[in-house]
């Protein structure tokens, strides 16, 4: 606690110093490739608020940033090209003893959601690009083949009896018999399109429920706001697009969910709001025990405090509380329960969660896969790091988005930053098996 | 890839793009110059040279645009330019002449074009008269919405975030309105988050400020 306080203090002091630097003429702040031709005197004579020394980096309220703090708080854009296999940081990745991690596929720019077909085909989606890929074996080599393109943020994938469902920004489509037609895939056929068009949290995560319905998140179209009635929810829809209803509300933006293998209850991750503070709120792991429950957004965050703008007159007791907090700004995204046979028994029915990693935080956290172990009653027993090493010196060499358990019990992890898919195995003998 | 085909494609595309641009603005001199310079160069560099000439016919000879609603490209971060070119090629952004111009280009073509364009000098700020009150109003807005976090304190941009300082005012208004009404897709959703909270009057003030920024 003391170290944290003193750290904050020194950040504040640094802020004051940076504030003093703002007294300098504007030309001094410009990049070095620009000649300093502006006469300093005339610049300095203009009335500018930045001429007053100000404490610029009060934690949580960096309204006027100093350059270094602002830089650390910036979003990190993924490469639109993808990193070649030999440049991937696999050697610096860490997994618990007995596990191994290898590159499963590379050169899939912006690799996002993972979904397995009945015949074992892995499908990989995009968020900032327009494609959906299938991994195919060709002459003993694994290749990513585009099976659909020209799509609008096709982040969400679900699979049911031979049909791949794709959730885009404003619609859900299907590709029937896709695994039999990978060489000549059919055009997507729209089954549902009752979504507002919005960029902010407009991409969708989608999964097939145990009730054979498509569950899809409909995010809040903002960082923090009173969302329209149609948004801030997880919705479920029949496979033909009929019967839409709200499965969970008060959800800011969930980019991952799965069902408990025994209780069949829906668990989902939810991303907390930005620009509140370095340490608050934390991302949530939630459990739906009754369809239609409200999980607090935008009024209550992490089950225990009301929002500074939207929370007046509200109480957190009105809403469902999260079963676990997954770290401030950590961007907990894809998650799956582990039901495979390869990993040790302590991982049985545990949840693997891909944390994409923070942007709205000076000291980045996440950029890893954690394992959340549950008690018999479905409450959370523990959470532990599982796959780490992407985040070093406050920079990412990869950002996990989704996890997928293969039939042999190994686990795939997608990385949209470097455009890769990694595979985690347990036990030395099984590494070579595909 | 067939080299002869490559050599043939760009001039055709070049003419299409230029005619799209020249329809409203008589830039026939530049077009003629472009065709002459194209025929005088060896195949590979001619391709890039021709592509760049086509770019600059609309975006301004030194990367500073003189055409309404067409952005200046000089001094833009190379990553931003690469991503935008890719978004035009893959039709993630729909702007007909740009989609046409980027059609069929390879990733390396995009990288090379972006690298050259980024080296052009940043645009000089608009010489229009400055209303100090309006500038202050916009500056407060900018601090409130933290534009200066991502676009930097001097609005020179970085990585995937574009330079705004000295950009054409009419283009800034157009871009902000398109973000606001969801007709322009960002590479990420950062601008949509901000524009959700802004009205048209504020858009006009922001564009006024940024285009006049020194």
Q: How many C-beta atoms surround the C-beta of residue A63 within 10 A?
A: 13
Distance from CA of B128 to the nearest CA of A (A): 17
Three-class SS of residue A405? strand
CB contact under 8 A, B189 and A202: yes
Query: Looking at the complex, does the CB of residue A38 fall below 8 Å from at least one CB of chain B?
Result: yes
The contacts of residue B70 (CB under 8 Å, 6+ apart) are: B21, B58, B59, B168, B171
Using the CB atoms, write b or e for A274-308: b if 16+ within 10 Å. Answer: bebbbebbbbbbbbbeeeebbbbbbbbbbbeebbe
Question: What is the CATH architecture of B132-211?
Answer: Orthogonal Bundle (1.10)
Query: Looking at the complex, does the CB of residue B150 fall below 8 Å from at least one CB of chain A?
Result: yes
Is the model's pLDDT at A64 over the cut of 60? no
Is the model's pLDDT at B5 over the cut of 60? no
Identify whether the C-beta of residue A258 lies closer than 8 Å to the C-beta of residue A351. yes
H-helix or E-strand spanning residue B31: helix B28-39
Which chain B positions have a beta carbon within 8 Å of A275's beta carbon? 146
Q: Could you tell me the CA-to-CA distances from A140 to A104, A136, A137 in Å, in that order?
A: 13, 10, 6
pLDDT band at B70; cut points 50, 70, 90 = very high
Query: Looking at the complex, does the CB of residue B92 fall below 8 Å from at least one CB of chain A?
Result: yes
Averaged pLDDT score across all residues of chain B: 83
Q: Which CATH number is associated with domain B3-118?
A: 1.10.760.10
Identify whether the C-beta of residue B187 lies closer than 8 Å to the C-beta of residue A77. yes
Q: Are strands A257-259 and A206-208 parallel, antiparallel or unpaired?
A: unpaired
Q: How far apart (Å, rounded) are the C-alpha atoms in residues A311 and A319?
A: 12
Three-class SS of residue A35? coil
* End-to-end Cα separation, chain A, in angstroms: 48
pLDDT above 70 as % of chain B? 79
Condensed to tens digits (0 to 9), the pLDDT of residues A65-85 reads 567 777 788 888 898 998 999
Condensed to tens digits (0 to 9), the pLDDT of residues B185-214 reads 999 888 988 998 899 999 999 999 999 987
Of the listed ranges A80-84, A116-120, A137-141, B9-13, the one predicted with least confidence: B9-13
Which chain A positions have a beta carbon within 8 Å of B185's beta carbon? 199
Condensed to tens digits (0 to 9), the pLDDT of residues B37-57 reads 444 444 455 688 888 999 999
| pLDDT attached to residue A48 | 39
Query: Looking at the complex, does the CB of residue A229 fall below 8 Å from at least one CB of chain B?
Result: no
Is the model's pLDDT at A240 over the cut of 90? yes
Which chain A positions have a beta carbon within 8 Å of B139's beta carbon? 48-49
β-partners of residue A145 are A134
Q: Are strands A293-294 and A245-249 parallel, antiparallel or unpaired?
A: parallel
Phi-psi region of A128 (alpha: psi -120 to 50; beta: other; left: phi over 0): alpha
Is the model's pLDDT at B8 over the cut of 70? no
Q: Could you tell me the CA-to-CA distances from A246 to A24, A86, A292 in Å, in that order?
A: 55, 45, 6
Q: What is the ipTM of this complex?
A: 0.81
pLDDT above 90 as % of chain B? 60
Of the listed ranges A301-310, A392-401, B65-74, B142-151, the one predicted with least confidence: B142-151
| pLDDT attached to residue B23 | 52
Is the model's pLDDT at A45 over the cut of 50? no
CB contact under 8 A, A199 and B182: yes
Q: Are strands A282-288 and A293-294 parallel, antiparallel or unpaired?
A: unpaired
| For B84, nearest residue in chain A (alpha carbons) | A80
Q: Where are the domains of chain B?
A: 3-118, 132-211
Helix residue ranges per DSSP H, B42-168:
43-59, 78-89, 96-102, 107-118, 132-145, 147-150
Q: Helices H, strands E: what count in chain B?
A: 11, 0
| pLDDT attached to residue A13 | 42
Using the CB atoms, write b or e for A209-228: b if 16+ within 10 Å. Answer: beeebbbbbbbbbbbbbebe
The contacts of residue A63 (CB under 8 Å, 6+ apart) are: B143, B144, B146
Which chain B positions have a beta carbon within 8 Å of A70's beta carbon? 148-150, 152-153
- The arithmetic mean of pLDDT across residues A422-427, rounded, is 97
Closest Cβ opposite residue A49 in set B139, B158, B186? B139
């Amino acid at each position: 606690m003391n170290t944290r306080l003193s750290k904050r203090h020194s950040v504040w002091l640094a802020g004051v110093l940076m504030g003093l630097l703002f007294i300098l003429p504007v030309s001094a702040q410009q990049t070095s490739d620009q000649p300093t031709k502006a006469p300093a005197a005339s610049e300095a004579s203009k009335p500018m608020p930045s001429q007053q020394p100000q404490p610029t980096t009060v934690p949580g309220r960096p309204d006027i940033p100093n350059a270094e703090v602002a830089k650390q708080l910036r979003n990190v854009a993924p490469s639109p090209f993808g990193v070649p296999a030999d440049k991937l940081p696999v050697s610096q990745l860490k997994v618990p003893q007995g596990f191994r991690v290898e590159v499963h596929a590379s050169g899939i720019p912006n690799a996002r959601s993972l979904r397995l077909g009945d015949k074992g085909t892995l499908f990989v989606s995009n968020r900032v690009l327009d494609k959906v890929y299938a991994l195919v074996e060709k002459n003993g080599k694994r290749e990513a083949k585009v099976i659909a393109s020209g799509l609008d943020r096709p982040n969400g994938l679900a699979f049911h009896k031979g049909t791949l469902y794709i959730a885009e920004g404003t619609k859900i489509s299907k590709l029937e018999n896709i695994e039999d037609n990978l060489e000549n895939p059919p055009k997507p056929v729209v089954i549902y399109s009752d979504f507002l068009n919005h960029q902010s949290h407009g991409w969708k995560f989608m999964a097939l429920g145990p009730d054979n319905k498509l569950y899809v998140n409909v995010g809040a179209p903002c960082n923090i706001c009173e969302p329209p009635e149609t948004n801030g929810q997880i919705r479920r829809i029949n496979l033909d697009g009929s019967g839409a209803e709200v499965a969970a509300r008060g959800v800011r933006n969930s980019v991952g969910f799965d069902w408990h293998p025994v209780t069949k209850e829906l668990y989902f991750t939810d991303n907390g709001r930005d620009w509140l503070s370095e340490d608050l709120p934390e991302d949530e792991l939630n459990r739906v025990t009754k369809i239609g429950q409200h999980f607090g957004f935008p009024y209550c965050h992490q089950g225990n405090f009301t929002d500074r703008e939207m929370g007046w007159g509200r109480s957190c007791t009105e809403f469902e509380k999260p079963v676990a907090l997954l770290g401030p700004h950590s961007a907990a995204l894809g998650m799956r329960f582990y039901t495979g046979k390869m990993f040790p028994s302590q991982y049985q029915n545990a949840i693997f969660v891909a944390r994409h990693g923070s942007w709205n935080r000076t000291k980045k956290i996440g950029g890893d896969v954690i394992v959340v172990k549950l008690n018999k009653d479905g409450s959370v027993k523990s959470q532990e790091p599982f796959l780490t090493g992407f985040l070093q010196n406050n920079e990412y060499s990869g950002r996990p988005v989704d996890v997928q358990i293969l039939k042999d019990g190994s686990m795939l992890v997608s990385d949209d930053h470097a455009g890769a898919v990694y595979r985690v195995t347990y036990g030395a003998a099984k590494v070579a098996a595909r | 890839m067939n080299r002869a085909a490559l050599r043939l494609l760009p001039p055709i595309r070049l003419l299409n793009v230029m005619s799209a641009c020249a329809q409203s603005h008589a830039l026939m001199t530049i077009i003629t110059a472009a065709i002459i310079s194209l025929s005088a160069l060896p195949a590979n560099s001619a391709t890039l040279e021709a592509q760049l000439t086509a770019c600059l016919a609309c975006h301004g000879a030194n990367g500073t645009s003189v055409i309404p609603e067409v952005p200046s490209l000089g001094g833009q971060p190379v990553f931003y330019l690469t991503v935008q070119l890719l978004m035009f090629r893959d039709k993630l952004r729909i702007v007909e002449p740009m989609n046409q111009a980027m059609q069929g280009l390879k990733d390396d073509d995009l990288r090379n074009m972006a690298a050259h364009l980024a080296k052009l000098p940043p645009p000089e700020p608009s010489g229009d008269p400055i209303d100090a009150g309006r500038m202050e109003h916009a500056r407060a807005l900018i601090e409130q919405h933290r534009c200066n976090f991502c676009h930097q304190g001097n609005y020179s941009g970085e990585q995937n975030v574009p330079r705004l300082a000295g950009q054409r005012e009419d283009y800034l208004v157009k871009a902000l309105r398109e973000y606001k009404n969801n007709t322009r897709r960002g590479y990420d959703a950062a601008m949509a988050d901000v524009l959700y909270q802004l009205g048209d009057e504020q858009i006009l003030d922001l564009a006024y400020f940024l285009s006049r920024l020194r």
